[in-house]
């Protein structure tokens, strides 16, 4: 059987599969279904300084082979994540990647400083790409200068490696990737959702209360794959790829394009067992390809 373990800054992964932030809550719901220790890592839901309720409903709408969401970073706030959610996750043998969000640069710094001290948080994921909040989020991820400032500020306080989650809603994603690399980011996670809209057939008005939402699911995979492919060529730091992953072949595709690990997002909503299923499938798929160690396929599209 192929070896599927992967080592990344701060992360010793049993396998390269992890649920994506926002698609897995803080793990509790899925822990009723399977042992979370099976996962390579868990990217927990974005955490902000204060608790947030999020956007009005409807917050989701289905689209061809995909869905739009505008949840609005609903989360219980830093205090509760530190005192309840993270300690609860300690029962599992799995590294946590804490997704950090905020409205102002100071918010990111405050969350990063505290959350990076939790014993099971092995890395941060800076959310500079949420398309569904009025302040913060994507505004930090679409300008290379602002992105660089934010990453530098967070790097200065974080006790663990810092990954930056990039938005696909930019003209040139390579430019942002390079900016965060220069700022000292330890890795990149990509992509967040693509801003989209669906209209109600009768009224002609947007279905989602927020108007727009972030598109995810199999529909975005070609876009995500192209972006990972481009960024891999331009940076030295590792990439955790995501966007429409539903099966082991998708994981192999993202790793071939240049990802060192892969996150599974929307597919968790369709098949809550999708992550363990992929983890079981992956070694078999690699055996079929005659691959001994998964590391050897990273970036093979470029060779």
Partner 1 sequence: MIQQERMSVVRQEQIAKNIYEIVLQGKIVQDANPGQFVHVRVSDSYEPLLRRPISIANINKEANEFTLIYRAEGRGTEILSQKQIGDEVNVLGPLGNGFPVDAVPEKGVALLVGGGIGVPPLYELSKQLNKLGVRTIHVFGFATEDVTFYEDKFSSLGETHYVTVDGSFGSKGFVTDLLEELSPEFDTFYACGPLPMLRALEGFYPNKKGYLSFEERMGCGIGACFACVCKTTDKVEKDYVKVCYDGPVFEKGVVKL
Catalytic residues, which ones? 130
Q: Phi and psi at residue 137, in whole multiples of 5°?
A: 55, -120
We find the least distance from the C-beta atom of residue 236 to partner 1, in angstroms, to be 34
We find the least distance from the C-beta atom of residue 74 to partner 1, in angstroms, to be 5
Q: Residue 184 or residue 272: which is nearer to partner 1 going by CB? A: 272
Rounded to whole angstroms, how far apart are CA atoms 19 and 27? Answer: 9
We find the least distance from the C-beta atom of residue 44 to partner 1, in angstroms, to be 11
Q: Is 83 exposed, middle or buried (CB count within 10 Å of its CB: 0-12, 13-18, 19+)?
A: exposed
Q: Residue 219 or residue 257: which is nearer to partner 1 going by CB? A: 219
Residue ranges binding partner 1 (CB under 8 A): 22-25, 28-30, 32-33, 51, 53-54, 57-67, 69, 71, 74, 217-218, 246, 266-273
Q: Residue 231 or residue 262: which is nearer to partner 1 going by CB? A: 262
Q: Residue 29 or residue 90: which is nearer to partner 1 going by CB? A: 29
Q: Residue 22 or residue 258: which is nearer to partner 1 going by CB? A: 22
We find the least distance from the C-beta atom of residue 20 to partner 1, in angstroms, to be 11
We find the least distance from the C-beta atom of residue 261 to partner 1, in angstroms, to be 21
Q: Residue 9 or residue 54: which is nearer to partner 1 going by CB? A: 54
Angle between helices 274-289 and 248-257 (to 10 degrees): 60
CB atoms within 10 A of CB 31: 16
We find the least distance from the C-beta atom of residue 17 to partner 1, in angstroms, to be 17
Contacts with 20 (C-beta within 8 Å, 6 or more apart), sequence order: 43, 242, 263, 264, 265, 268
Q: Residue 33 or residue 156: which is nearer to partner 1 going by CB? A: 33
Rounded to whole angstroms, how far apart are CA atoms 33 and 150? Answer: 37
We find the least distance from the C-beta atom of residue 300 to partner 1, in angstroms, to be 26
């Amino acid at each position: 059987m192929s070896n599927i373990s992967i080592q990344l800054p701060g992360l010793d992964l049993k396998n390269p599969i992890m649920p994506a932030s926002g698609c897995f809550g803080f793990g509790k719901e899925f822990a009723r279904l399977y042992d979370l220790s099976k996962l390579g890592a868990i990217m927990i839901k974005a955490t902000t300084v204060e608790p947030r309720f999020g956007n009005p409903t409807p917050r989701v709408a289905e689209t061809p082979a995909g869905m739009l969401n505008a949840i609005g970073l609903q989360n219980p706030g830093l205090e509760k994540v530190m005192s309840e959610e993270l300690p609860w996750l300690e029962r599992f043998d799995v590294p946590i990647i804490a997704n950090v969000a905020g409205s102002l640069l100071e918010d990111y710094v405050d969350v990063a400083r505290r959350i990076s001290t939790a014993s099971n948080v092995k890395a941060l994921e800076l959310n500079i790409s949420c398309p569904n909040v009025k302040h913060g989020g994507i505004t930090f991820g679409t300008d290379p200068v602002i992105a660089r400032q934010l990453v530098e500020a967070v790097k200065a306080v974080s006790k663990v490696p810092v990954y930056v989650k990039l938005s696909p809603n930019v003209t040139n994603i390579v430019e942002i990737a390079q900016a965060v690399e220069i700022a000292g980011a330890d890795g990149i996670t990509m992509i967040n959702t693509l801003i989209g809209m669906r209209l109600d057939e009768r009224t002609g008005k947007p279905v989602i209360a927020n108007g727009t939402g972030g598109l995810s699911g199999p529909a975005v995979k070609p876009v995500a794959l192209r972006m990972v492919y481009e960024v891999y060529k331009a940076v030295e730091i590792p990439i955790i790829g995501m966007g429409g992953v539903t099966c082991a072949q998708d994981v192999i595709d993202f790793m071939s394009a240049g990802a060192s690990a892969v996150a599974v997002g929307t597919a968790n909503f369709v098949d809550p067992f999708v992550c363990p299923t992929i983890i079981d499938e992956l070694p078999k798929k690699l055996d079929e390809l005659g691959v001994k160690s998964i590391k050897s396929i990273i970036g093979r599209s470029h060779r």
